[in-house]
Amino acid sequence: MAKRIRVYRSFEDAQEAEIREQRAMTPAQRLEIFRQLKARVFGRSPIDVRAFHKKNKMAPVKRNALDDLLYIKPANVCSKKRPKSKSSA
C-alpha cells in the first residue's frame, strides 16, 4: 500500500476523512495492511510459542495447609463443607 500525505484544516476534518477511507477499504486491503503490520512487529518468520509450551509443561500444584487457611466460605450460601487436606491433621 502506497503512503500518502494529506493536509486538512482541522483535526476533526482529518479524523472524518480517515474514517471514510477505512470504511471504503475492501476486506482484502484490510488483510494486506494487517499482514504488513504483523510482519513489521513480529518479523517474517515469528517463533511458534505453542511448541515451547508443549515441551515445558507446568507441574501440578499441590495443596497444603495454607490453602485451607486462605479459603473463606461465603456466609449462608452453601451448606457443604470443604474437605480437609491430608496434610492439615
Helix H or strand E encompassing 5? none
What is the per-residue pLDDT for 13?
95
Full residue range of the structural domain in which residue 21 is found: 1-44
On whether residue 14 sits in a domain, the answer given is yes
On whether residue 62 sits in a domain, the answer given is no
On whether residue 26 sits in a domain, the answer given is yes
**What is the Cα–Cα distance from 57 to 53, expressed in whole angstroms?**
6
On whether residue 66 sits in a domain, the answer given is no
* Domain total of the chain: 1
Between residues 10 and 1, the one the model is more confident about:
10
On whether residue 82 sits in a domain, the answer given is no
Per-position DSSP letters for 32-86, written without gaps between them: HHHHHHHHHHH-SS---HHHHHHHSPPPPPPP-HHHHHH--PPTTT--PPPPPPT
What's the pTM value of the predicted model, to 2 decimals? 0.43
pLDDT at 55 over 80: no
